[in-house]
Amino acid sequence: MVMVKASPLGAETPMAIAALNYAEQGFKVIPLVGKRPAIAGGNGYLDASSDPNTIRDWWCEYPDANIGLPMGPNGMVALDVDPRNGGDETLTMLIDGHGELPETACQSTGGGGWHYVFRNNNKSIKSPGLGIDIKDKGYIVVAPSIHPDTGKEYEWETPLDLDLLADPPEWLGTISSVGHHTHSQLRLNEDPVFHVLNRLGLVEFDDQGQPNIRYEESGAEKINVTCPWVHKHTDKANDGSAYFAGGGFKCHHAHCDHRARKDLLEWLREQGEDVDRLKKEQWEAVQEAQLRAFSSTNHELLNEPSIFYDLDVSIKAQPDRCVADEKKDEMPEHPDGLVGDIAKFTESTLKYKSPNIALATALTAVSRMIGNQAVAIALTGRKTPLNLYVVLTAPSGGGKETCRTVLNRSPHS
């Protein structure tokens, strides 16, 4: 796209007037070409300004530029929901489990998504799942901007007012991620919505009279169903529709390719089904399936050979003694490899022999090295940096300070 500098009359375009209105409310804005900052060689959203003269100059140069609203510089954070990547289904599941979002500014995007704008209360928030991004730095495109791909206008459904913005819901900072992998833990025969679809005659069966269950790459179960809106298909064909265990719905016909779980649930409500109860039961089923999978994985891990010393730490009540007393002076050999090398080095610097302190030091040091290079991915999809926290208790002079010294010298990356 070639941008041609316009006359000062450019500052009177609808976009320029809207940008000035945002500035009058105290918001900093930037001009955008499509979704990208228009200022060549600038600093992106950091160039944002609420100065009317600066804004007039920008929109004189780019009279039809879209409007970008930075989040951090304006004290805001946005939940960016993209249905094309499953954001609507993720949001629906979150609301089913945690309740509605607090009333706050909400904008429909030209791409079919939504922006929920909250006050930035400086609490940590991460993406809660597929199709939902957290905009706490960067910026969002705001009304009346035009989406560069669809040509549709952004529009505030609930007006933007800094004084009326809600804080983000507490659960956004504590929940684990939700995504398609969540559904893969649930089987169709455990899904209450599936049973309702079956009762209504929408589930397709094979030649043996059994539900024709198929599987996604993620392991999620799915089954062909009759689209509730098949009468709207141009060819009236009853194919190309599937229901996914856990709530997903997809129809590949042009008239229905925009429909998702929320549309299916609304149709079920129109058929007289108790959708609120169904959503609650489905959410509980998904949680139970996740817990079952998590417990199974932990069971497998617990049966793996241990990398730690196989010490008998059980204590049996006996007169004036216990098993631990008999082993307290034993010096276990350190393992081979880096952990053992660090433990041996640490122990060699201790005034009193203390293999437990030496080993704790070595494990913590290696944990710090790994922690910056790898993350643990839970079954929920949440990524957590690896780390090990150790509390050392020992008499004065027992070597606690040596442990601190070794750790401070260990590499952090």
Please check whether residue 171 is in contact with residue 98, taking contact to mean a CB–CB distance below 8 angstroms: yes
Half-sphere exposure of 56 (CA within 13 A, CB side): 8
Residue 117, burial from CB neighbour count under 10 angstroms (0-12, 13-18, 19+): buried
Which of 49, 67, 69, 50 shows the shortest CA–CA distance to 13?
67
Average pLDDT over every residue of 291-306: 50
Average pLDDT over every residue of 60-70: 94
Q: Which residues contact 252 (CB under 8 A, 6 or more apart)?
A: 240, 241
Token code pair at residue 298: 């932990």
301: pLDDT confidence band, cut at 50, 70 and 90? very low
Characterise 36 by phi-psi region: left (phi > 0), alpha (psi -120 to 50), beta (else). beta
- How many Å apart are CA 342 and CA 361, to the nearest integer? 8
Average pLDDT over every residue of 136-145: 92
- How many Å apart are CA 21 and CA 24, to the nearest integer? 5
pLDDT of residue 157: 94
Residue 6 in 3-state DSSP? coil
For residue 350, the tally of other CB atoms under 10 A from its CB is 19
- % of the chain at pLDDT higher than 90: 30
Residue 304 has pLDDT above 50, yes or no: no
Which of 181, 187, 197, 188 shows the shortest CA–CA distance to 264?
197
Higher-confidence position of 408 and 191: 191
SS3 content of the chain, % helix, strand, coil (to 5): 40, 15, 45
- For the stretch 20-54, pLDDT in tens is 999 999 999 999 999 989 987 778 888 999 999 99
Higher-confidence position of 49 and 86: 49
Residue 86, burial from CB neighbour count under 10 angstroms (0-12, 13-18, 19+): buried
Higher-confidence position of 81 and 332: 81
pLDDT of residue 295: 53
Please check whether residue 111 is in contact with residue 82, taking contact to mean a CB–CB distance below 8 angstroms: yes
Domain boundaries, the chain: 1-70, 75-136+151-178, 180-291, 323-409
Whether cis (ω within 30° of 0) applies to the bond prior to 144 is yes
Higher-confidence position of 267 and 402: 267
Placement of tokens 């505030």 in the chain: 156
pLDDT of residue 345: 79
Q: What Cα–Cα distance (Å) separates residue 378 from each residue in 178, 202, 289, 297, 402?
A: 11, 35, 14, 10, 35
- How many Å apart are CA 252 and CA 225, to the nearest integer? 12
Which of 106, 116, 118 shows the shortest CA–CA distance to 77?
118
- For the stretch 393-405, pLDDT in tens is 766 666 666 676 6
pTM of this structure: 0.49
Task: List beta partners, residue 105.
Answer: 117
